[in-house]
Structure 1
Amino acid sequence: MPADFVRPESTEGASPGATHLDPRLLCAFLAVAEELHFTRAAARLYVAQQALSRDIRRLERELGAELFVRTTRQVTLTADGERLLPYARRVLEAQDALLAVFARGPREARPLLVDVNSPGLISSRILDRARELAPGSELMARFESGLTGAAGELLAGRLDASFGRFAGLDPVVRARLEQQPVRYEPMAVVLPEEHHLAALDEVPLDALAGETVYAGAGNPRTLEWTDLARHLFEGRGIELAPPAPVAIGAEEFQRIMAKKRNPVLAVVDFPAMPETVRRPLVDPVPLSPVSLVWRKGLVHPGFDALRRAAIELTDEEGWLQCPKEGWIPATDALVMMSHR
């Protein structure tokens, strides 16, 4: 046995077959099995690595089987782990479907919870149209500020729908969600009024060379947005601003940005803030791909109206017409086109 081998907690004395399994343990197993890395799996589940390891050991005890071979260098599935993997996936998919249909009572008895990210964005317009289409249903706005954060709420059943960059989510998370492309939204930069670029009507991307631009770095709920910024800034001499305190609400965001004085990467519909100007980015026009995103198996009459509203406004406004001078990462283009 290699000297660096770390033996999992002994399964000796475990029952030959578990009679009940906590679905949370299967979630832990699936995350580790797909990441083959405990630190990444813990981050994906928003739990401490110690808690994740504890859940894996408990699952191994209940099944009476070792599921992983863990060394200081790598994690691999055992034969029993490989055998469990397809069953774990099916159980969790069935649980998602069950929660979507039964866990919330009669279809008309509860509101549809829709994350619009921030007031004034296109998601708010879609929600308003959906309310007109389904006056008998209650559609409630939520403000999660980031699709990465909202995705966890969707999978937990605490949120029904959200909007954002679907390609920026972990592929394993995307597999448990559905999406409907809504818009290629032109991006912008928010500048302090005294900034030397504020006098321009449009800001060429090349003009941001040498600037340090804030794009949510350090905020675990907006990882998809920071990742999009990295793609955009790469090779253009634009620096990603270091993490700033996570601000909740427009007033706190404005206060923090006023202290940092960094330009802020945004979209053209980003709400106006005092003592700043918002300028579209051009040459090329960077696009933020926006999708309506929901949990697989969602059933609600208000959701039917939400999807219809998204389709209507997308067609009326031409939101999915990608300009010739537009820029979008190739991975995002593939994800958006594959669902149209």
Structure 2
Amino acid sequence: MPAHLEPRLLRAFLAVAEDLHFTRAAVRLYVAQQALSRDIRRLERELGAELFVRTTRQVALTPDGERLLPYARRALEAQDDLLAAFGRAGAPARAGTERPLLVDVNSPGLLSGRVLALARELAPDSELMARFESGLTGAATELLAGRLDASFGRFAGLDPALRDRLEQQPVRYEPMAVVLPEDHPLAALDAVPLDALAGERVYAGAGNPRTLEWTDLARQLFDGRGIEVAPPAPLAVGAEEFRRIMAKTRTPVLAVVDFPAMPGSVLRPLVDPVPLSPVSLVWRKGLMHQGVAALRAAAARLSAEEGWLERPVGGWIPAMDALVMRS
């Protein structure tokens, strides 16, 4: 008998026991059916007991499963009461009883804001509060510390030790773009070929410890193309400060196609090839909250409706990112 059981395994058991259907239970928990089955098998191994009888037509509790059911319910109710007492999210709570969910949308005007807006519609009784962390590397630290609950960004760009403690759901292969001074020679183009940036220094957050995953993506994109990552510079916060710095330095800025318009500059998509910024919804492992479920559902709906996970033919993306986005 194990010294302790992960509450996640008991929640998986309870969902299947109540629905007697693995697919419906997986949908209810917002997990893949394969992951749910894996958790059930692990629980059975740890308890040394078979909990379900599975056939091609039905699922039923075994005598050991029937015996576990009341214990699982009491254990999870006790955990939920404990977490509620300390203002933390446990299992999905009754409408209006959960604490606010803190969601990092990185910057105003990005696709993450659209996901958040739809999630609020899907879960009107939950409070989803926007935060602006500007970088998944920085946000990941806040996620693990419990000061933030969800964020968006390039999951493959995080340190493996961080990835092991987080969950992710692919949202979009977002085409990348470049922000140019409005009188830059390339500003006259509708789209800027990557080769046209040869000899340029392009700002990509170098020196900012909160955006290491973005700078790394830029270095991989620029490698062998004659494009340099611009040296570290103070972060321009706000439209007016961005305009002033752009006018002073005239340094192009690597961005995405949803980057909001800035005074004194133009946004042009990059082509030949189309570089892709892989965006995932990211949250802390084990976090169970109606708001997270709503964010996942909203991201899945928008991705499907707008083809966000359809890669453009010939689109550029690092191999590791492609692997993570297919997971």
Query: Superposed, which structure 2 residues align to 1:164-175 within 5 Å?
Result: 164-175=153-164
Q: Equivalents in 1 of 2:297, 2:326: separation in Å?
A: 19
Counterpart in 1 of 2:200?
Answer: 211
Query: Superposed, which structure 2 residues align to 1:267-278 within 5 Å?
Result: 267-278=256-267
Return the offset for 1:303: 1.3
Q: Equivalents in 2 of 1:153, 1:230: separation in Å?
A: 25
Residue correspondences, number = 241
Residues 166, 284 of structure 2: 8 Å contact kept: yes
Counterpart in 1 of 2:113?
Answer: 124
Aligned-pair Cα RMSD in Å: 1.7
Distance 1:328 1:105, change over 3 A: closer
Residues 126, 309 of structure 1: 8 Å contact kept: yes
Which one of 223, 237, 248 corresponds to residue 234 of structure 1? 223
Which one of 99, 111, 134 corresponds to residue 123 of structure 2? 134
Q: Equivalents in 1 of 2:287, 2:176: separation in Å?
A: 31
SS in 2 for 1:229: helix
Residue 330 of structure 1 aligns with an amino acid whose one-letter code is A
Return the offset for 1:335: 1.1
Residue 246 of structure 1 aligns with an amino acid whose one-letter code is L
Residues 176, 254 of structure 2: 8 Å contact kept: yes
Q: TM-score, normalised by structure 2?
A: 0.71
Per-residue deviation, residues 211-241 of structure 1 (Å, max 9, x unmatched): 1100000111000000000000000000110
Q: TM-score, normalised by structure 1?
A: 0.68
Counterpart in 1 of 2:234?
Answer: 245
Unaligned runs of 5+ in 1: 1-96
Counterpart in 2 of 1:161?
Answer: 150
Q: Equivalents in 2 of 1:311, 1:273: separation in Å?
A: 30
1:104 is the counterpart of 2:87: yes
Per-residue deviation, residues 99-139 of structure 1 (Å, max 9, x unmatched): x9564246434211100011111100000000110111111
SS in 1 for 2:220: helix
Percent identity between the two aligned chains: 78
Give every structure 1 segment of 4 or more consecutive aligned residues whose post-TM-superposition deviation is greater than 6 Å: none
Q: Equivalents in 1 of 2:279, 2:83: separation in Å?
A: 26
Q: Equivalents in 1 of 2:148, 2:116: separation in Å?
A: 14
Q: Equivalents in 1 of 2:137, 2:314: separation in Å?
A: 28
SS in 2 for 1:104: coil
SS in 1 for 2:254: strand
Distance 1:105 1:222, change over 3 A: closer
Residues 243, 265 of structure 2: 8 Å contact kept: no
Residues 240, 263 of structure 2: 8 Å contact kept: no
Residues 101, 297 of structure 1: 8 Å contact kept: no
Residue 237 of structure 1 aligns with an amino acid whose one-letter code is G
* Range moving further from structure 2, 197-206 or 249-258: 249-258
Per-residue deviation, residues 72-122 of structure 1 (Å, max 9, x unmatched): xxxxxxxxxxxxxxxxxxxxxxxxx99x95642464342111000111111
1:193 is the counterpart of 2:182: yes
Return the offset for 1:248: 3.2
Residues 245, 256 of structure 1: 8 Å contact kept: no
Counterpart in 1 of 2:311?
Answer: 322
Return the offset for 1:260: 1.5
SS in 1 for 2:178: strand
Distance 1:105 1:155, change over 3 A: closer
